[in-house]
């Protein structure tokens, strides 16, 4: 199955994910279109380890460029990291989570949940058996 790339929401040509492209220097504001594009490309409908790791790298670069007081943007970054790290940890396909590198469901994963720990950042993502 070939993955189709959607155009960016702005209708502009695709750009690379260099950190300087995420910040509007005139206003100093966050461009959510870039984060949406990263998440669509790397954590969209069809996922794999390489794409998820690449998405984490792109989000990390973006995170370093944000202003400390921009709570909304930091929250969006944190949520993106949770989605990417959780999808990377879940080595199976189930429901809306499809991993190209793990296309089948796993009985072992049916009894697990993913826990995220952290305050203002994603400190750890781990699994826990549902019975515990």
- pLDDT (tens, 9 = 90+) of the chain, 132 residues, equals 444 454 555 544 444 544 444 444 444 345 577 888 899 999 998 999 999 999 999 999 988 888 777 788 888 898 999 999 999 988 889 888 899 999 999 888 787 877 777 765 666 677 777 765
Which pLDDT tens digit goes with each residue over 52-80?
999 999 999 988 888 777 788 888 898 99
d(CA 89, CA 80): 14
2 to 25, 38, 47, 63, 115: CA distances (angstroms)? 36, 18, 12, 30, 32
Per domain, the residue ranges of the chain are: 19-90
Question: CB of 21 within 8 A of CB of 56?
Answer: no
Q: Which two tokens stand for residue 45?
A: 């409908």
What topology does CATH give the domain 19-90?
Methane Monooxygenase Hydroxylase; Chain G, domain 1 (1.20.58)
In this prediction, residue 84 carries a pLDDT of 94
Instruction: Decide if 55 contacts 39 (C-beta within 8 A).
Output: yes
């Amino acid at each position: 199955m070939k993955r189709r790339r959607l155009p960016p929401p702005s209708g502009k040509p695709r750009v690379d994910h260099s950190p300087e492209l995420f910040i509007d220097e005139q206003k100093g504001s966050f461009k959510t279109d870039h984060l949406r594009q990263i998440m669509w490309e790397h954590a969209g409908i069809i996922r794999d380890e390489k794409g998820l790791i690449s998405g984490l790298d792109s989000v990390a670069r973006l995170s370093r460029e944000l202003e400390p007081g921009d709570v909304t943007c930091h929250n969006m970054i944190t949520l993106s990291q949770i989605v990417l790290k959780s999808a990377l940890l879940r080595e199976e396909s189930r429901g809306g989570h499809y991993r190209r590198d793990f296309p089948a469901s796993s009985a072992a994963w049916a009894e697990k949940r993913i826990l995220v720990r952290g305050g203002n950042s994603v400190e750890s993502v781990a699994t826990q058996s549902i019975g515990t």
